[in-house]
Chain A
Amino acid sequence: MKFDAKSYRITEDGRVGQVALIIGIIGLVLTATGYFVDKAQFYHSYLTAFFFWLSIALGGLFFTMLHHLVGAKWSVVLRRLAENIMICIPLLAIFLIPVLFGIGELFHWSHPEVVAQDHLLQLKAPYLNVAFFIIRAVFYFVIWVLLARYLLRLSLAQDGGHTESISKRMRVASAPSMILFALTITFASFDWLMSLDAHWYSTIFGVYVFSGSLLAMLAFLMRIVLYLDGVGTLRGIITREHWHDLGKLIFAFIVFWGYMAFSQYFLIWYGNIPEETVWFLHRWEHDWQYISLLIVFGHFVIPFFVLFPYSTKRSRPVMLVMTIWILAMHWVDLYWIILPNLHREAVKFSWIDFAPMLGIGGIFIRFFWSRVRVTPLVPVGDPGLEESKRLVSH
């Protein structure tokens, strides 16, 4: 790969885009095959993969807004990568469509005959009905797409030449957008994940999903950074000091996720109300307990101790393994949330679970990479760029 350090552009890339596109197309063909093999399995697997990639893109949006909001300096060199992740949101809006077609297979509250015999669902019907569900889904995406496009447009305008007003507009937009983001991701996770088990509710669920999402995005970002470093791009621009800070942020979000996961479990365990405990009960019988334990150890305990020391966060091989591990665990976490809705009686992995991961993932990375190719890899107009390059992490 050739990199021009003056314009911060990749002038000649390897085959990332092509390989991703081929994997994506193969994955999508397999996914489509899966639809004809087993419809219910297809929709559940598809929702898992869709939310997995969406959560990474949303993490990019959050990272960018947070960067503007707090006036961060260390992460200036990472900002463009995060922006290119967030601009994948419009792509994922297209991938939402199959989920909307799958409402009948996914959500039992969408069947009038079920609701007719279920008092609780009747009470929830003003919120949980197909029309309002679709309106909300479109609404969330409109907000996310508008925010992502607005922030990226300002950022690209800044590349042409910095003015104080651009920085200010990004900062001013980020503050209220943060509130909008918190609300939309909360309700999106209520709609698409929590309402799979429509009787069950957990008010912390949105934060739980958000914490896992941002963790996955940080791991994805770190993986991209390591890749770019490995092929000799951005040397001396994104340095080991940035890896270290990113590693610390990943560590922090491992702890935050663990805190949220336990808080959700703990209150439900303590309260011991059947309506609430049933959700965890489904995940503690018929072999689902092994997946639960895998999440406890794989999503929290192991990464916590691995990323605890100073040296591991600065180590290339360790971070290569850990970023992939964390992304895998994020998928397991979503699988654990979604799939008991279908396979309550046993854990049944299917090839259809993996096809949409490759399909959406391949297209996602292809799209992300095409954005990386056409923009400078760092926000060249940002006045904090030089300072960010000289970061020293302790």
Chain B
Amino acid sequence: MNNAIVKKTQAVLAEFDSPTALLKTAETLRDAGYKKFDCHSPFAIHGMDRAMGLKRSPLGWMVGLAAVVGTSSALALQWWTSTIDYPLVISGKPFFSFQAYVPVTFALGVLLSAATALIGMLALNGLPRFHHPVFYSDRFSRASDDGFFVSVESDDKMFNVEQTRTLLQQCGGKNIEILEGE
């Protein structure tokens, strides 16, 4: 080998004419058993989740759990500080006045839920991520304008450069690129 740097196939990228073609290709890939592929389009396409075989996100449950943790810890904190640690009579009300605890409980529940929703969303999407094989393609910038792309990543179990390329061709993919990187 002459080159010191070994280039490795990282992904196959194909371009499509329309959102419909993109949807059909996603269904074909899903039915063929591919898991690590992605569709790129300038706008959201209804039904894409199903076509790609994506399961419902577990984010809702994570946020629900965060809400439970947030509200119960807020209640516990207020109960402990105002009845055990430093009992103080405020406007003649009982030490344990749950009414007064509600705003903080609510706010902490919302705060933890919102933070979990944001951080969880980023984590589940694998973000922040600074590079992706599709960026090797010059044509790919059109995905934010008028291009519809499918990328299949090489670490998919089903991945095989030739077979994957043929499959994408059969689906009507154009300008198919084999993306190589270090």
Interface of A toward B, CB cutoff 8 Å = 262, 265-266, 269-270, 272, 308, 310, 390, 392, 394
Q: Which chain A residue shows the least CB distance to B46?
A: A392
Q: How far is the CB of A301 from chain B (nearest CB, A)?
A: 13
* Bitwise interface map of B from 76 to 93 toward A, beta carbon under 8 Å scored 1, else 0: 000000000000000110
Question: Once the chains are docked, how many angstroms separate the CA of A265 from the CA of B91?
Answer: 17
Q: Tell me whether A266 and B102 are in contact (CB under 8 A).
A: yes
Question: Once the chains are docked, how many angstroms separate the CA of A392 from the CA of B50?
Answer: 11
Q: Tell me whether B46 and A266 are in contact (CB under 8 A).
A: no
Q: Tell me whether A310 and B56 are in contact (CB under 8 A).
A: yes
Name the 7 nearest CB pairs between A and B, nearest first: A392-B46, A269-B99, A266-B99, A392-B47, A262-B102, A272-B91, A266-B102
Q: Tell me whether A270 and B46 are in contact (CB under 8 A).
A: no
Measured between beta carbons, the chain B residues less than 8 angstroms from A392 are 46-47
Measured between beta carbons, the chain A residues less than 8 angstroms from B64 are 308
Measured between beta carbons, the chain B residues less than 8 angstroms from A390 are 46
Question: Once the chains are docked, how many angstroms separate the CA of A158 from the CA of B102?
Answer: 48
Measured between beta carbons, the chain A residues less than 8 angstroms from B47 are 392
Measured between beta carbons, the chain B residues less than 8 angstroms from A269 are 99
Q: A265, A270, A308: which has the most chain B beta carbons within 10 Å?
A: A270
Question: Once the chains are docked, how many angstroms separate the CA of A310 from the CA of B60?
Answer: 9
Q: Which chain A residue shows the least CB distance to B57?
A: A394
Measured between beta carbons, the chain B residues less than 8 angstroms from A265 are 99
Given contacts A390-B46, A392-B46, A392-B47, contact A270 B56 (CB under 8 A): no
Contact of B100 among A270, A308, A394 (CB under 8 A): A270
* Bitwise interface map of B from 82 to 119 toward A, beta carbon under 8 Å scored 1, else 0: 00000000011000000110110000000000000000
Q: How far is the CB of B16 from chain A (nearest CB, A)?
A: 21
Q: Tell me whether A270 and B99 are in contact (CB under 8 A).
A: yes
18 contacts between A and B (CB under 8 A): A262-B102, A265-B99, A266-B99, A266-B102, A266-B103, A269-B99, A270-B91, A270-B99, A270-B100, A272-B91, A272-B92, A308-B64, A310-B56, A310-B60, A390-B46, A392-B46, A392-B47, A394-B49
Question: Once the chains are docked, how many angstroms separate the CA of A262 from the CA of B64?
Answer: 22
Q: How far is the CB of A265 from chain B (nearest CB, A)?
A: 8
Identify 15 new A-B residue pairs, CB closer than 8 A, beyond the known A390-B46, A394-B49. Answer: A262-B102, A265-B99, A266-B99, A266-B102, A266-B103, A269-B99, A270-B91, A270-B99, A270-B100, A272-B91, A272-B92, A308-B64, A310-B60, A392-B46, A392-B47
Residues of B21-53 at the interface with A, using a CB-CB cut-off of 8 Å, are 46-47, 49
Q: Which chain A residue shows the least CB distance to B49?
A: A394
Q: Which chain A residue shows the least CB distance to B61?
A: A309
Q: How far is the CB of B50 from chain A (nearest CB, A)?
A: 9
Question: Once the chains are docked, how many angstroms separate the CA of A266 from the CA of B49?
Answer: 44
Q: How far is the CB of B27 from chain A (nearest CB, A)?
A: 16
Question: Once the chains are docked, how many angstroms separate the CA of A394 from the CA of B46?
Answer: 10
Q: Which chain A residue shows the least CB distance to B60?
A: A310
Measured between beta carbons, the chain B residues less than 8 angstroms from A310 are 56, 60
Measured between beta carbons, the chain A residues less than 8 angstroms from B103 are 266
* Bitwise interface map of B from 49 to 70 toward A, beta carbon under 8 Å scored 1, else 0: 1000000100010001000000
Question: Once the chains are docked, how many angstroms separate the CA of A308 from the CA of B56?
Answer: 16
Question: Once the chains are docked, how many angstroms separate the CA of A111 from the CA of B103?
Answer: 42
